[in-house]
Every structure is written in structure tokens, then in C-alpha cells.
Chain A
Amino acid sequence: MRTPFIVRLGRSFDARSWQLVGLFAAFALVAVPVMHLLLPPENPLYLSTYFITLTGKILCYAIVAVAMDLIWGYGGILSLGHGLFFALGGYAFGMYLMRQIGRDGSYQSDLPDFMVFLDWKELPWFWVGSDSFLWVALLVLVVPALIAFVFGYFAFRSRIRGVYFSIITQALTYAAMLLFFRNETGFGGNNGFTDFKRILGFSITAPETRVVLFGLSALALIGTLLLARYLVTSKFGRVLTAIRDAESRVMFIGYNPLWYKLFVWTLSAMLCAIAGALYVPQVGIINPSEMSVANSIEIAIWVAVGGRGTLIGPVIGAFIVNLAKSWFTVSFPEYWLFFLGTLFIVATLYLPQGVVGLWVRLRAGRRRDEDAPMAVAKGAEA
């Protein structure tokens, strides 16, 4: 008999991992609201708004990192276009937030300010219905998925892979960025969407809203991790890994790599879009620079630093790099690029498995000191 899905999902994590997930959920959904809303600011345990927005933002990045890890760490496909999907999700949800401003904008019009500014009389066709939360939620999921599917279908069918694929995705993102920078395309040009006021009628800057968004981001990250874990431990995940390691052999055995790659690619794009949609209300702005070439490559470095081919690695990597970024850009802005550049080089040269791999190696090293030399070979392999 086939094991029920929920059981299989439950089994994809071992007991200790479930404990960690539970701990994290308790922290994000119970401890954070209490520490932010109920404690007075003088209390040493009080969490500031800065902490909530920064961490919430990084949680969204972590979702993107896990999505990137699915396609890169397990599928062997390095995408330099994930910034595009992230931004598309962000833009779709950003438009909903723009519509929520209503007549409170500087021009007191039903249309968003930037459209009034361009002297537009009505919404362009693709934004019709963007005042409905459900429709926008659908847009967030469907548009990036559709673009990813169509692009991926043609790319994978032509067996474009490796560096070629990376460069093509980069060109795609770059073209989209140029398009979004234009004023007349209906995406707000340079400034993008900003000055949000409400979400579902609630004030977007209220501490309660922030806490809810934070919790939602945490839940989305847990969901992403669960789904990813389930996928990579299933038969699908094994075929995917096999395609990564020896695509031709997998083909000769009788699998068609196209659909495996296409599925994980589209899924990865959708996860990015969700992350983008959660990111925009927390940060309060979305503009075309999210699609810049540099941003998409930075996603890859989160994954590389954390550890490819592990699921916790990208989350750790996203936190390390982004915490370092917010620390550097405040304290030593002129050294941030030096640090980031060095990180790219060090991570690729000396940390092929990221910090998670380093941790595993160190533990294996310690065990080797303690007992059998058998672990050496294993540790070296990892």
C-alpha cells in the first residue's frame, strides 16, 4: 500500500530536525510577537523594529536561497535569473499595495501616483483586478511560473546547460530590468512601487502587521524547507541528482531530463516569487534594481557559502551574508565589496561544500582523532 502523503512528508525529516523546526516556529510565532509587542522598549529582551524588518527580510532571502539550492545544488543548474522571479512576485504584490493606498496618494486619484504623473487615464490591461488580494496572490504565483515554464521549456529542450544557461538567464533578467526601468511600461520606472500605506486594510507600518508578516515569512520558510526536503528525498529528487551528475546516462537509462528540470525550475521560480511578495510589504519598496545582474549572483553566493546540496546550508548562508552586509554597510561601507568579493573567492576555492561542509569535515576530523581511521575517507568525500 502506498504510504499517505502526510506520513511521507513527516518522515522526510528526522526527529532532531523536527525539534529544530518546532523550536524555530515557536521563536518566530510566539517569542517574537511577545518580545516585540508586549515587552517595554527598556527591557533587555525587547526586539526592536529594526530587528524585525531585518530578520523578516533575511527570512525572505532564505526562501530564495533554498529555491536556488533546489535548482543549483540538486539540479546542477546555476540560474542567474532568480532576481527576476523574486522581483516579479514583488511587483505583483507591490501593485496590490499601491492600489491599497487608494485616494491617499499625493494626487488623490484612484490610479497610483506614477500613472497620474504620466497622465494615464486608466490601468493598463495587466493590472486590471490588482485591487483584489486573491487575484494578486494568483498573479504572484502564476506569472513567474508561466515565464519560467516557457523559458525553461525551450532552454532545456534545446539542451542548454551549464554556463550557457547561466548567461542566458542573466540576459533575460537584464532585459527585464531595462524594460521595468522604462516609465511607459507601467511598472513605475526608476522608483518602482513605494509609499505603501495599508495591507488588507491594516496599516502597513503598525507593529502588529510587521509581526504578522514576520510570522508569515517564517512559516513560508518552514514550508519551503519541508517541501524541498520532501522533494529531494523522494524518487524525483534522486533522478534530479542523477541528472546533475550524469545527464546523458540518465537519458540512456530512459528518463527524459526535460520534465525533471522543468518542474524543479518552475517550482524554484514560484518559491522566489512568494518570497518577493512577502519581502515587499516588509521593506516597503520594490524597484528594478532588484533585477540587476549583481543581485542574482549574490543569491548564488548565499547558497555557496552555506553549502550546496544541503537544505539548511542556504538558510545559514543567507543569514551569514546578509547580516555581514548590514553590518558592513553601516560600519565600513568601503570594505563591503572587498569582503563580498573575497567571500566569493574563498567560498569557491576553499569551501566547496560551504560552512555546512566545513562543519561536517571538522566533526569528521575530531572523530578521526578519537578513534577509527575509517572516518577519514568518509570525511574527505563529504
Chain B
Amino acid sequence: MRTIGLLLCGWLLSAASVQAAIDPSLLKPLASEDSDTKIMAIAALAQAAPDEALPVLKALADNALAVSGERLLIVDGERVFDAASNTEIKPAPVARETIGINNRVRRELSGALAALRLFSAEREVRWQAAQELTLSADAKMLPLLDKALAAETDSAIRARLQLAHAQASLGSTDAGVRHVAVRALGESSDPNVRQLLIPLTEKRGDAWIEPDSAVRAAAGTSIRAIEQRLAWADNLGRAFTGLSLGSILLLAALGLAITYGVMGVINMAHGELLMVGAYSAWAMQSVFRAYLPSALDWYLLAAIPVGFLAAALVGVLMERIVIRHLYGRPLETLLATWGISLFLMQVARTLFGAQNVEVANPVWMAGGIEVLPNLMLPWNRIIIVAFSIAVLAAMWAILNLSRLGMFVRAVTQNRAMAGCVGVPTGRVDTLAFGLGAGIAGLGGVALSQIANVGPDMGQGYIVDSFMVVVLGGVGQLAGAVWAALGLGVFTKFLEGWTGAVVAKIVVLVFIIIFIQKRPQGLFALKGRFVES
């Protein structure tokens, strides 16, 4: 290892010329049976032709390097390349033997690979290499790390390298160096670094593993600092999943906040409106797959208006045919809309089958942002949080800035008076209900990205969304927002303690008790009501 490091330094100073092909004589020893020869060959190769050596060494590490007579070959599935010139060989030689490596060679090889990549021109490659080094650095690599640190300009990679440097220094014989290293490692928030430090505070037999007491104490402090940071990241992660659950609850409940909260119509088919939205997303995916395969990744954008309109249409029909005849009779509305929900479920089952349909995440929603080593925020969750904020803002704007919103508020406050001054109350009811249903459809589009899409999917959300509206208090959006976020975060933190099902039960019981105390919800409208 040390040899490789030193050789590499030499290479750096001499700024090796770029070669198109590797001298076959450098490659040949790689096929040797002797491990020491191999290790020497790896070092020599890395020094002589750093850029070209990378694919060869990688292939060696992946067991994809083969020897055929005098030639070395890189095997990539069906295709075979010449290792020296990196050109494809056709037809592929049949008589070839894969070069095997033992663990010792593999260790040396991974170090060499990481070192090679540390000086790559690509930032991404350097970043990856630095990350890998954080867990495998040892004292022999110190000179190399020093060199890389001096050359590195990217601050994130520098921080990584410094960590690796500290880790490598742990093996130093000088207690002062170890002390500095242990303190530096305390800056990390990687659980693996904690694992690395823990042995320093433990005894093996009677003797301390770390002989120097000052270093031991520093290690203890560093471990506590890391643990604190880890716990913090854990809670942050939980808060985020809670936020994400809350935003889903919010999307599911926002439509209800209009239909139930503002209009006073209790709609048990709300979950099925979510289902309509989710199936719209699936339908758009199928349409794009059939007619616009090149733009398949963007089907979700098309699904947003389609989901809204489909659910709004169903909502308007529901209102026109059934609900309008039941205004002022909430219990009957409850039963009738339950009937509608059964009907819609069966329609979905008849049209699309009883099985769940498969809705794929677009590529741009895959992956996530790594905030901390143990905290990853997935893109689809982030996008849903952002989406629910956007929907909320749009809804607020419609209710407070548009003419329709003004009419809706007027009808809510005093239906007779609104009618007297010329508000078409009947049409406003229909439109408001359609709006609430459409927002449920948007929620369904979002849900299709993280939940199963099937005929029964709506049933799972109906209890939750009513809880949000009831908890938040009827008649306003702010209550629904706080209730949804509060419930989401509360549930997720509870889940950490008790498990998912018990958390759900606890939350339901909590709401039941809460409603006893504040029957009007968190944000009761002020006023005097005898009979509402």
C-alpha cells in the first residue's frame, strides 16, 4: 500500500502524460499467479497510466479481467474489450481465463482504486472515492491523503478527506496525533465513525485498548458528540416522515375541509374520490406508455389536471343527483354518500379489476437528498410535501380571492341572504362540491406515487381524513392544516416508541378524548350557537 501511495505521489509531481493505450508489458504481470507480483503490477500500472488504469483495475476488482494467451481482456457481459487499447474485440475469444484475486490483493486494489479516483477530474468520482475512504483509511494512506487534501478544492470533499485523514491517524504511534485525530472525528455525524471510536474506550482483558488516558477521554467526548448529532438526525428524520405523512393527510383532508368543513356535507365517498384521482394517474401513465413513450416520465404532470377534472366531474354528478336533495339532513347524507362510495368501488373493480394496478414513480422522483449520513430525504416525499403546500395555497386563493370563493363564503355564512342579493346558491353548491372533489382527486394523484392503487384504497383514508377535519374544527382551512401536520408528526414520533398499529390506536383514542374536551375542534369558530 505504502508503495502505491508513494508511487502515486511521484506520479502527481511528474504530471504523467496522457496515454491512449497501456504498454502491454505493464499489464502482463497482472495475470501472474503470485500475489506479490500482482500487487507490484497494480502499483506500477497506477503510476504509469492513471487514467487508463482505472477501467482495468476496476475490472480486476469485479472479476471481469480475463487472460487469453498474451492478451488481457475486459469482459463486459457478452462483449469483450482489449485491456491495453480498450477497443472491442470481435469475435470474442472463447478460450479465456478470468484472473482471480485473493483478499490481500483485493484490499490493495481497493486502496489503489480509491486513490486513483481521488485525483480524478470528475467531482462526482472524487466524492465517491472520498466517501469510500472514510471507512477504510489506515495509517499507510496518510501521505496520499495529505496530497489529496492539498489538491482538493471542493469543500464537501475536503471535509470527507479530513475525516478520512483523522481516521487514518488513529493508527499512529504518536499519542498527540491520535488525540488530534479523535477530536477531529468528533465532528463527524456518521454512525460508522462512532463504531470506530467505541473500541478506544473499552478494555481488552485488563489493558485498555487505547493506552493514553487523554485520548480515551477525548474519544468518550467525541462519541457523545456524535451520538447527540445522530439522535438529532434521527428526530429530524422522524419529523420529516411525520411532515410527509401530515401532508398526505392534508391532501386527503383538504377536499373534506371544503365539503364538510365549509358546506357541512358529510361525504363518506371522499376516499373514493381519492381513488378516482389515483386511477387517473394510472390511466395517464397507460396513455403515455401507448402514445408518448418518449415523454413517459412526465405523465404525472398530465395526471394532475386530469385527476382534478375526473374527480370534480364525479363530485358534480354526486351533488346534482343525490346530495342536493339531502341538504340539512346530515345523517341521511352520510348514508347516501356511503352508498355512493360502495357504488364507485364496485365500478372501479368492474372497470380495472379487483387487483391493485401498478403506478410507477417517474425517474425524476426516484432517489433523494442525503442530508446527513443517516438521514435521507426521498424525492417523492419532498415533492408531495411541496405539492400539498401548492394545493393548499391554490385553495386558499380560490376561497379568498376569487369570485366563486366569495360566493362560497357568503352561502356558508347566510344562505338566504346570499340568495337575496343574487348569489346563485344552487350553482355555488355544485361548484364548491366539485372543487372539494377535485382537490380530493389531486390528493389521489399524489397518493398514487406512494401508496397502492386499487378499488379499496379509499377506505383506508376515510377515517383518517375525518379525524383531521373533526380535530381541526369545522369551517376553516387553518384548523385542517394544523390538525393534519400535528397528527402526522405525532403519529410518526409515537411509531418510534410503540409500533405502527398501537400508534394508530393511541392517536384515535387521543382524538376521541380530545373531542370530548373540545367538541368544536382545535380552532372553534367564536360565536353563540344553541343548535347548529
Taking Cβ atoms with an 8 Å cutoff, the residues of A that contact B are 72, 78, 151, 154-155, 157-160, 162-164, 166-168, 170-172, 174-175, 178-179, 181-182, 247-248, 293-294, 297, 300-301, 304, 334-335, 337-338, 340-345, 347-349, 352
Contact = CB atoms under 8 A, between A and B. Distances in A.
Given A166-B331, A293-B463, A340-B339, A158 B531 contact: no
Contact of A174 (B331, B508, B515, B530): B508
Contacts of A157: 516
Contacts of A174: 463, 508
Contacts of B531: 247-248
Given A171-B512, A174-B508, 13 more contacts: A154-B513, A164-B470, A167-B266, A170-B466, A175-B504, A175-B508, A248-B531, A338-B343, A341-B341, A344-B340, A348-B339, A349-B322, A349-B325
Interface of B: 266, 268, 322, 325-326, 330-336, 338-343, 345-346, 349-350, 459, 462-463, 466-467, 470, 501-502, 504-505, 508-509, 511-513, 515-517, 519, 530-531
A167 B334 CA distance: 10
Nearest to B354: A334
Contact of B339 (A170, A293, A345): A345
- Max chain A C-beta neighbours (<10 A), residue from B341, B345, B346, B509: B346
B343 A168 contact: no
A344 B342 contact: yes
Given A155-B516, A158-B515, A158-B519, A300 B343 contact: no
A182 B498 CA distance: 13
Closest 9 A/B residue pairs (Cβ): A344-B339, A341-B343, A341-B342, A337-B346, A175-B508, A348-B336, A341-B339, A348-B332, A345-B339
12 contacts: A154-B513, A155-B516, A163-B330, A175-B505, A175-B509, A248-B530, A293-B462, A293-B463, A297-B335, A337-B345, A344-B336, A349-B336
A179 B499 CA distance: 12
A343 B339 contact: yes
B330 to A, nearest CB: 5
B501 A178 contact: yes
A174 B511 CA distance: 13
Contacts of B331: 72, 78, 162-163, 166
Given A247-B531, A337-B345, A349-B326, A171 B463 contact: yes
Nearest to B260: A163
A297 B338 contact: yes
- Max chain A C-beta neighbours (<10 A), residue from B322, B333, B338: B338
A297 B334 CA distance: 9
A167 B530 CA distance: 21
Contacts of A342: 339, 343
A160 B518 CA distance: 10
Nearest to B345: A337
- Max chain B C-beta neighbours (<10 A), residue from A181, A343, A344: A344
Contacts of A170: 463, 466
Given A178-B501, A337-B345, A340-B342, A171 B511 contact: yes
Contacts of B345: 337
Contact of A167 (B338, B466, B504): B466
Contacts of B326: 348-349
Contact of A158 (B462, B463, B508, B516): B516
B455 to A, nearest CB: 10
B354 to A, nearest CB: 9
Contacts of B509: 175
Nearest to B269: A341
A48 B501 CA distance: 43
A293 B459 contact: yes
B266 A304 contact: no
A34 B342 CA distance: 41
Contacts of B505: 175, 178-179
Contacts of A158: 515-517, 519
Contacts of B268: 297
A352 B329 CA distance: 11
A294 B463 CA distance: 11
Given A158-B517, A158-B519, A293-B459, A345 B322 contact: yes
Contacts of A167: 266, 466-467, 470
Contact of B340 (A151, A164, A345): A345
- Max chain B C-beta neighbours (<10 A), residue from A72, A167, A170: A167
Nearest to B329: A348
Nearest to B502: A182
A328 to B, nearest CB: 12
Nearest to A350: B325
A158 B331 CA distance: 20
A178 B500 CA distance: 10
A174 B334 CA distance: 17
A337 B467 contact: no
Nearest to B530: A248
Contact of B266 (A163, A297, A348, A349): A163
A293 B508 CA distance: 14
A190 to B, nearest CB: 12
Nearest to B518: A158
B460 to A, nearest CB: 10
Contacts of B530: 248
B274 to A, nearest CB: 16
A335 to B, nearest CB: 8
Contacts of A349: 322, 325-326, 336
A170 B459 CA distance: 13
B335 A301 contact: yes
- Max chain B C-beta neighbours (<10 A), residue from A247, A343, A348: A348
Nearest to B321: A345
A69 to B, nearest CB: 13
A334 B346 CA distance: 8
Contacts of A155: 516
A172 B342 contact: no
Contacts of A345: 322, 336, 339-340, 343
A174 B459 CA distance: 12
Contact of A178 (B334, B340, B349, B504): B504
B504 A164 contact: no
B515 A341 contact: no
Contacts of A164: 470, 515, 519
A78 B508 contact: no
A164 B520 CA distance: 9
- Max chain A C-beta neighbours (<10 A), residue from B334, B341, B530: B334
A337 B331 CA distance: 21
Given A163-B331, A338-B346, A171 B467 contact: yes
A162 B266 CA distance: 11
A294 B513 CA distance: 23
